[in-house]
A and B are shown apart, each in its own frame.
Chain A
């Protein structure tokens, strides 16, 4: 049953502070879902709840249900480590592991979960780097430090690292906000490419980016999912006044 991610009655807190309120959403495979909204509206928290990264922060709490292809991710017997293997994540700032080479960075996910087979590691690293459109640029210098790459390359390295463990879903938390326009264009191309194989969710500050890459868009405001729908409809005929104000730039 491949119906992607289904979020039901999701709420999240930092201590006493409620940052998500009763969110319902459905993110389908084979498409890109963009999450937009002003800073502090709960976008990042929302996707961090999907791969159970929210609870890593002290005093953070989650309530509600998240299903991946019909399976509960917050069930009492579910190990968050397993959830994170199935749902990969790319962060705002590119964060290659500083003590590792390019090869080791991409292989890290497999190695640290017990894969020793060199043939399989090499195969996976090449596949992941190709998938992240980085292979041609780094294939001759895999032993170099990941930190020696440019910002855009580092971000693609992080995408390759996430893809190497073959996740079913890829969450991206403002993956282009630290990059220049050319690197951004490359990542956007990549996002469109990736949706063929996985469910992709992208948080972005950039509404043009959401319009360019996504089929579905959700608009968050003050922890509430104000509107969720086909990207074209949401940008051209928003149903909610607040969405309209935001996408037309009349906000605040």
Chain B
């Protein structure tokens, strides 16, 4: 075999292996999607998006309250997790010291590894017990806490990627450092930070464990953020372990809707950040 033929073969084998690895990576996702569409679409109709759950035995009904509930929980979680994560990440990327940033980084990594149910217990002890009731607020904060380390570390990484020369160019114009960070560095890293935020939101959208004893679930429309609130993952859980065939179908539909929501969030993030780097006027 000539040298060139050997290299060609080698190239083909490697391409094949890389392609196969990529295929194996997306295979589970595709299978899950197909299965969900197959099982979930049966119970998916307009009622599902507009109606409250029906009592046991009555056919029909939907999960409208859980869909709205999940959106409210995500909004509360974002209100907690995004500012803390983004500004914390900026602090880590910009601070000159070594001790405090090291400690924050270490603790964030630990927090990232804490099982979500433990964070649920934390919110339960700190919010549910003193307030003497389950609430959307407690659930949202629990999810927000889960988001913090994810947003924090992505923001730090992406702010670090902004070249020092860009920062210097702005400083040399006589712009105060805090303005350089907020108006030059942060916008430059924006696309990545938005993606990181969306990843965090998508991650907590499906969290069930921390909601079980914070948001608790509710069979009615939401009644204020200091009251228990329905959420898709809880509803799916409750319906999936129920003995009723009708509820099982609805659980599948709920799972499909949840995945679709996460998918939409990612899609919005992609399109919203695609135009960045182009002029702002």
Contact = CB atoms under 8 A, between A and B. Distances in A.
Interface in A43-88: 51, 53, 56, 58, 81-86, 88
Nearest to A162: B173
Contact of B175 (A86, A113, A147): A113
B172 A89 contact: yes
B281 A143 contact: yes
A84 B279 contact: no
Contacts of B166: 95, 97-98
B279 A143 contact: yes
B132 interface: no
B55 interface: no
B190 interface: yes
Given A81-B176, A95-B165, A101 B279 contact: yes
A165 interface: yes
A144 B279 contact: yes
Contacts of A102: 279
Nearest to B165: A95
A109 B279 contact: no
Interface string A160-181: 0110010000000000000000
B17 to A, nearest CB: 36
Interface stretch (B56-64, B119-127, B181-189, B250-258): B181-189
A93 interface: yes
Contact of A88 (B163, B173, B175, B281): B173
A88 B171 CA distance: 10
A200 interface: no
A101 B173 contact: no
Contacts, number: 84
B165 A108 contact: no
A19 B248 CA distance: 74
A91 interface: yes
Contacts of A8: none
B166 to A, nearest CB: 6
Interface string A133-166: 0000000000111010000000000100110010
B184 A84 contact: no
Contacts of B173: 84-85, 88, 108-109, 112, 161-162, 165
A145 B176 CA distance: 24
A58 B171 CA distance: 15
B238 interface: no
A126 interface: no
B183 A145 contact: no
Given A58-B96, A82-B174, A109-B174, A145 B279 contact: yes
Given A91-B165, A98-B188, A99-B187, A108 B277 contact: no
Interface in B228-281: 276-281
Contacts of B47: none
Contacts of B183: 112
A103 interface: yes
Given A81-B174, A104-B280, A143-B281, A97 B169 contact: yes
A100 interface: yes
Q: Which residue, of A82, A100, A143, has the highest number of chain B Cβ atoms within 10 A?
A: A100
A50 to B, nearest CB: 11
A97 B170 contact: yes
Given A98-B277, A143-B281, A84 B172 contact: yes
A81 B175 contact: yes
Contacts of B276: 99
B109 interface: no
A104 B281 contact: yes
A89 B96 CA distance: 24
Contacts of A86: 174
Contacts of A91: 165, 168-169, 172
Contacts of A84: 171-174
7 contacts: A56-B171, A97-B188, A99-B280, A103-B281, A108-B170, A113-B175, A145-B279
Interface of A: 51, 53, 56, 58, 81-86, 88-89, 91, 93, 95, 97-104, 108-109, 112-113, 143-145, 147, 158, 161-162, 165
Given A95-B163, A95-B166, 9 more contacts: A53-B171, A53-B172, A83-B174, A104-B279, A112-B183, A143-B279, A144-B279, A161-B173, A165-B173
Interface of B: 96, 163, 165-166, 168-176, 179-180, 183-184, 187-188, 190, 276-281
By Cβ-Cβ distance, the 9 closest A-B pairs, closest first, are A85-B174, A101-B279, A89-B172, A109-B173, A84-B174, A112-B175, A95-B169, A99-B187, A145-B279
